[in-house]
Each structure stands twice: as C-alpha cells, then as structure tokens.
A and B are shown apart, each in its own frame.
Chain A
C-alpha cells in the first residue's frame, strides 16, 4: 500500500487518506463505519440514498461520492447525523410495504439492520403510503417483490457493469422513479440465477428473491443476528 498522502478528521479522529479516495473509502480503511445503502463494494458509486450523509467542511455531502481532501473535518456519528439518517431510513419503510416478520430477507436485510443500528424499532411517525406494487414470480428461479424495493439501483449497476446485461433499469421520475425489468416480466429478460445482480449480496432488501431458499437459514445464523451492520468494518479499527 502506498504512503498516505494526507489526513482527514472524522468525529475528532485523524485518519489517513489517499488522493482519489472518497470519504467513505478512507473511513472504511481506518475502521470507521459510515452507514450506507446504495453504495456497494465492487459497484460504481451512485450517491442516491443519502444515508451516508456527513457534514464535511460544514456542508452536507454524501460520503460515498465526496472525495477526501487534505485537512477535511467530517462529522459522522453526531446525534444530528444519526437523526437525519434515521429519518431517511424511516421514510424508506413508509414508502414501501415492509412486513419484516414474514419477509425472507429478515435477519439478512440491510435496511432492517440499518434501522436497528440507528435505533429505529417501529416506524410510525409518517403515514404508510401502502403503495400497490407487483410481485413478479414469472421467472423459474427468481422472483421480484417490488413491495420491498428501496430504489437503491445496486441491481441496475450490477447488471450493466458486471453482468453486461441491463436486466434492470429505472422508469418514472422523481418520487415515482421505480426499478423495472427490461421486458414485460422477469421471465422475458435474459436474467439468470448466476447473474451477479441476482446474487444475495447485491439487493440489500428482500426484493430480488432467489426462489426456494427462503427461510432456510435458521434464526441465529443470519447475517445480522450476531452483529450490527457495519461492525465488520469497525472491527479493524486500529485505535
């Protein structure tokens, strides 16, 4: 690894950063977790969910896209930032139809795990929009329960950039923007169970479903049963 070119400060801790790194990448390397939903290792940054919002040099920016710069002072886990993120995550619950106790992503879901990390246990402050959204089960191996989609775009980038397919894309604008498939339904696309976009790690929630494996991981052995989301990054913090 090359010598650090400069330092930045996150919540009063000085960490090393290199030119070309985002604030989040530098923080990850230093073992400081900045919450995120739309950003995912191996996929290009998109900066749309805003859950990674930090204060840098006094301005609110998304840590997954904002380059680290020498001497930058970043606020990450301050009460204000945590509240902002909690509100954003809470709104995601209200925008879709999330019924965790019957969802096969429960325990492996990044949205649910983020809610726990941020201290949100029962979203209730906003009206539930209860949109009518389809479940597309046409494909023999894959289903899409768009009730749970948070429009993070990870599947779109994975399908385009990794699988070179373009199975997923956006339709609509503004708050009507939704993820859709490139065909009348999933069965009429070239989606395959072996696609990176379909793999368990890409969709953060229970929207992209690999058929017939739901609920096979017992409670207690699921990804977030034993640890909070982000703890895998915080584990290698060196202070």
Chain B
C-alpha cells in the first residue's frame, strides 16, 4: 500500500496539439512570411469556470503533462491572493520553492539530455535515427546514467513536496499541506552533493558546445529581441518562484522593471491574429511591431542582475562575459542558460534541505477575501501568468492564462521565417534538412505545445510551402 491511488476517468476529451508551419512565398518566390499554427484546445477556460477556488491548483495540472507543477504553483499563487494572503508562512513558501526547483531541474535535464543532446552531439543534419536519446546513451553511457539519475532526483523532490511525482496536491490556497519529514530530507541530502558535481559537468558540456559552435549559434535563429522575466524585488536577482516583472531590449536597456506582476495587463497586450488561436502578446508601450519579446532560461539570464547562489552566479558572469555583458540574442544559448539554472536549482535545493524551516508546522495562512487573483511564476520554459476571478460563492468566473509558449509566439514565428529564408534558397521544395532546421528552431524555444494548446501529447510537425496564389506547392510531415 501507500502507492498513489487514483482512478482515471476523464469526461474531458483529450485533443492532441499539433504544430503546423506554413511558409508563404511572394510572387518572386521569396519567403514572405512563416506562420506557426498550433491547434488549440479551448475547453479549459470553460471547464474551470464554476469550479471551486481550492480545486484550481489541482485542476490546472491537467493542462499539461509536461509542466504540471508550474501550473500548480502559479494557480496556487493566484489563489493565495484570492484568499487574501500576501505573505506565506516560511515553511509553506520554502516547501513550494523546493517543489519548484525540483521541477525546473527535472524539466531542464529532460530537455537537455533527451531533446537537445542528440542534436548537440550528432549535429542537426544527422539522420533522424541517430538523433535520439538512445544513441546518446549508447555513445556515452555515463552521461545517460546521470541524466536518468538527475531527473529522478528532481522527481523525488516533487514527490516529497506534492505527495506524488505527477499530479500531486502540495500547494493549497494560502500555503502548503505538508512539511518535509526528516527521513525524506536525509535521503535527499545524501544525493545532493553528487547532483551538484554532475550539474557542473552538464553545464561545462553546454557551455563548451555553445562556445565551440559560435558561428552556428550566432547565426541560427538568432535575432535581436526584447526579453522579459521575473526578477527579485530590490536587487534584480534571478528568482524562479517570485518577483517583479522586468523587460529589457536587445541592447540591454530597461523597458520596465520593478513592476508588480498584478499589473501585467497594463504592460502587455494580448494580440489576436485571424489565422491563429494562440495570442501574440507584446509590450504595450512599444507596439505590436517592436514590442514582442522572448521568455525562458536565456531571457532570464539576460534579465537577471545576478544569481544569488555562488556557483550559478559565477556561471552567469562567465556567460555574460561571452557577449560583452550585453544580452544574448541567440536561440541556441538557451541550452547553456538551462544548465546554469539546473546548477542554481541544485544549489537552492541543497540550501533548503539544510533549512529547518522545512520541518515547521505553520503551513497555511488566512486573510481577507478578494475577488481577483493573479499568480506569476518562472516556469522551466519561461514566464507563466495565471489570472482568475472568483465570486462570493467561491466559484471561478473568469480565467486567463499566458503560458511561456504564448509569450514566445512571435519569436517562434520569426525564427521559423529566418530558417525558411536561409534554407529554402529559391527552391520550391521542402528538403528533409530544412524540416529538421524548422523543427530545431521551434524546439530552441522549448515550446510546450501541450501546454499552449491545453492538450496533451507530442508534437507532430507539418510544414507547407504556399505560393503567392495561395496554392500549396509542397508539404512534409513528421510525426511527434
């Protein structure tokens, strides 16, 4: 016994998200525009309406099979605000942070080793059958072993804080439902020093790759953009769990900073385009053309003034030095940024495990009810906004989500266009190599299509080439 006991019966139909790219040519057969279409499952906002506020942090985990913990915590933060709690008891905030660092770590490790490492080790042009994790493990068994162990460590932390590896319950409005028992703490502590060493090795791998392939990195889906992330109030440090909104431009100039995230809709406009269900947010003051921005690990590295854990801070300074202290506007350097964050998470996890507040018993705070709640967090893939209104009967009446992939929507479309221009070269055919590059460009943003579309599943990718007359002249598909 003691195994999680859940019966799964879902009246909510699952729709698989799929990515489709259309490349539109002008009458001289040059690339005019590239559009990334994501078929969106619109059921969620409807489903959540009418539900009870304390159910929300649990229900939102169904949004995404890949990053449920981020949704859980963002919704819990929004519900803290609804129940009138602005400051959580230390045990609650630290347990939530522990959960979050565990989640970011395991998600980044998964991404790096499973999705990115094959490309990095074998090259983007390598045949599809070589570009997978099994090849990585075959060629480098130690790396594979560590990837599995690091991921498991992150998952163990999630289980220790949320009760289950996936779809647990930990955070409740105003706090957390458990503390960390000593036995579990000691089991995690016994592994943490090794994790710290491995995180440094993984960082060296990602750093080495990025610097060794400076040409590719500089030219691959790299373009100046604005960057947005949370940063810690007061000193601008990297803070994945809580902070104020800060945005900078491609040259490092501040667009806004120190902004209370509850004002996000004053700063951001969610643009709609007739051909896409996914919105296109931009910074209001800069307008739709210049106001788009990127979020994610690299955006966080660009936005953060420093990192408050020593090893990751040194790595952050080292990375900044590579671009002369200016923002890094490439896409592929996200891998490097991700590994700096893994190191940061492990350092944070170690510090938290040594903190006796985690054994505290004051778990839930109460306050005066409010109608509106906004929770923002830095999820593995970037900034994540949850916004709700709840009526006097405790029922949700309004829900708006901006997930990381939506923040990056414009950037992804531009990256795809960039690749199309570069690799199409006047041909009227989509080559296998180009399909690969389109896929890698999209993947560089680490989109959670599952989450953006509010559906579950891998992303099958279809690329269509459309001439000036609207005729599809070529098409290629890859299944997810």
A121 contacts which chain B residues (CB < 8 A)?
7
**CB of A88 to closest CB in B, whole Å:** 15
**CB of B81 to closest CB in A, whole Å:** 15
Q: Is A225 an interface residue (CB 8 A)?
A: yes
Tell whether, in the assembled complex, residue B6 and residue A100 are in contact, meaning their CB atoms are under 8 Å apart. Answer: yes
- Known A137-B395, A143-B394; contact A99-B11, beta-carbon cutoff 8 A: yes
**CB of A96 to closest CB in B, whole Å:** 10
Of B166-174, B274-282, B430-438, the stretch lying at the interface with chain A is B166-174
Cβ contacts A198-218/B at 8 Å (1 or 0 each): 000000000001011111111
User: Chain A interface: which size bin?
Assistant: 35 or more
CA distance A212 to B5 in the complex (A): 23
A216 contacts which chain B residues (CB < 8 A)?
172, 177, 364
Q: Using CB atoms, name the residue of chain B closest to A187.
A: B393
- Known A220-B2, A226-B1; contact A98-B172, beta-carbon cutoff 8 A: no
**CB of B358 to closest CB in A, whole Å:** 14
A138 contacts which chain B residues (CB < 8 A)?
393
Tell whether, in the assembled complex, residue B1 and residue A217 are in contact, meaning their CB atoms are under 8 Å apart. Answer: no
How many residue pairs link A and B with beta carbons under 8 A? The number is 101
A123 contacts which chain B residues (CB < 8 A)?
7, 9
Q: Using CB atoms, name the residue of chain B closest to A214.
A: B54
Residue among B1, B2, B52 making CB contact with A214, cutoff 8 Å: B52
B12 contacts which chain A residues (CB < 8 A)?
99
Tell whether, in the assembled complex, residue B54 and residue A212 are in contact, meaning their CB atoms are under 8 Å apart. Answer: yes
CA distance A138 to B177 in the complex (A): 26
Of B55-63, B310-318, B319-327, B408-416, the stretch lying at the interface with chain A is B55-63
CA distance A144 to B394 in the complex (A): 12
**CB of B271 to closest CB in A, whole Å:** 32
Q: Is B114 an interface residue (CB 8 A)?
A: no
Q: Is B10 an interface residue (CB 8 A)?
A: yes
Tell whether, in the assembled complex, residue A102 and residue B2 are in contact, meaning their CB atoms are under 8 Å apart. Answer: no
Tell whether, in the assembled complex, residue B177 and residue A102 are in contact, meaning their CB atoms are under 8 Å apart. Answer: no
CA distance A226 to B55 in the complex (A): 24
Of A6-14, A72-80, A104-112, A171-179, the stretch lying at the interface with chain B is A104-112
CA distance A228 to B61 in the complex (A): 27
Residue among B6, B50, B395 making CB contact with A106, cutoff 8 Å: B6
A93 contacts which chain B residues (CB < 8 A)?
7, 9
Q: Using CB atoms, name the residue of chain A closest to B366.
A: A212
Tell whether, in the assembled complex, residue A225 and residue B167 are in contact, meaning their CB atoms are under 8 Å apart. Answer: no
B11 contacts which chain A residues (CB < 8 A)?
97, 99, 128, 130
Residue among A209, A217, A225 making CB contact with B52, cutoff 8 Å: A209
Tell whether, in the assembled complex, residue B2 and residue A101 are in contact, meaning their CB atoms are under 8 Å apart. Answer: no
CA distance A209 to B173 in the complex (A): 16
Cβ contacts B6-37/A at 8 Å (1 or 0 each): 11111110000000000000000000000000
CA distance A115 to B5 in the complex (A): 10
Residue among A104, A122, A220, A228 making CB contact with B8, cutoff 8 Å: A122
Q: Using CB atoms, name the residue of chain A closest to B177.
A: A218
CA distance A157 to B51 in the complex (A): 28
Tell whether, in the assembled complex, residue A215 and residue B7 are in contact, meaning their CB atoms are under 8 Å apart. Answer: no
* Most A CB within 10 A of own CB, among B5, B11, B51, B61: B5
Residue among B5, B173, B178 making CB contact with A224, cutoff 8 Å: B5
Tell whether, in the assembled complex, residue B172 and residue A215 are in contact, meaning their CB atoms are under 8 Å apart. Answer: yes
Q: Using CB atoms, name the residue of chain B closest to A130.
A: B11
CA distance A225 to B395 in the complex (A): 29
**CB of A148 to closest CB in B, whole Å:** 11
**CB of B43 to closest CB in A, whole Å:** 13
**CB of B325 to closest CB in A, whole Å:** 46
Residue among B7, B50, B162, B173 making CB contact with A100, cutoff 8 Å: B7
A112 contacts which chain B residues (CB < 8 A)?
5, 7
Q: Using CB atoms, name the residue of chain A closest to B395.
A: A137
Cβ contacts B139-180/A at 8 Å (1 or 0 each): 000000000000000000000001110011110110001100
- Known A104-B55, A216-B177, A226-B1; contact A99-B50, beta-carbon cutoff 8 A: no
- Known A130-B11, A225-B5; contact A219-B55, beta-carbon cutoff 8 A: no
**CB of B295 to closest CB in A, whole Å:** 28
Q: Is A227 an interface residue (CB 8 A)?
A: yes
Tell whether, in the assembled complex, residue A128 and residue B7 are in contact, meaning their CB atoms are under 8 Å apart. Answer: no
Cβ contacts B363-400/A at 8 Å (1 or 0 each): 01000000000000000000000000000011100000
Q: Is B4 an interface residue (CB 8 A)?
A: yes
**CB of A87 to closest CB in B, whole Å:** 16
Tell whether, in the assembled complex, residue B394 and residue A101 are in contact, meaning their CB atoms are under 8 Å apart. Answer: no
CA distance A143 to B51 in the complex (A): 11
Tell whether, in the assembled complex, residue B169 and residue A215 are in contact, meaning their CB atoms are under 8 Å apart. Answer: yes
Residue among B8, B61, B164 making CB contact with A219, cutoff 8 Å: B164
Instruction: Please give me the 5 A-B residue pairs with the lowest Cβ-Cβ distance, nearest first.
Output: A219-B163, A218-B178, A137-B393, A214-B54, A100-B7
Task: Sample 15 A-B pairs with CB under 8 A, ordered by A number.
Answer: A93-B9, A99-B10, A100-B7, A100-B9, A120-B7, A123-B9, A135-B50, A135-B51, A137-B393, A212-B394, A215-B58, A216-B364, A218-B170, A219-B164, A219-B169
| Seed contacts A137-B393, A213-B54, A215-B177; 9 additional CB < 8 Å A-B pairs | A97-B11, A102-B59, A102-B61, A104-B58, A106-B5, A112-B5, A122-B9, A135-B395, A218-B178
Binding site for B on A (CB under 8 A): 93, 97-102, 104, 106-107, 112-113, 115-116, 120-123, 128, 130, 135, 137-138, 143, 209, 211-220, 224-228
Binding site for A on B (CB under 8 A): 1-2, 4-12, 50-52, 54-55, 57-59, 61-62, 162-164, 167-170, 172-173, 177-178, 364, 393-395
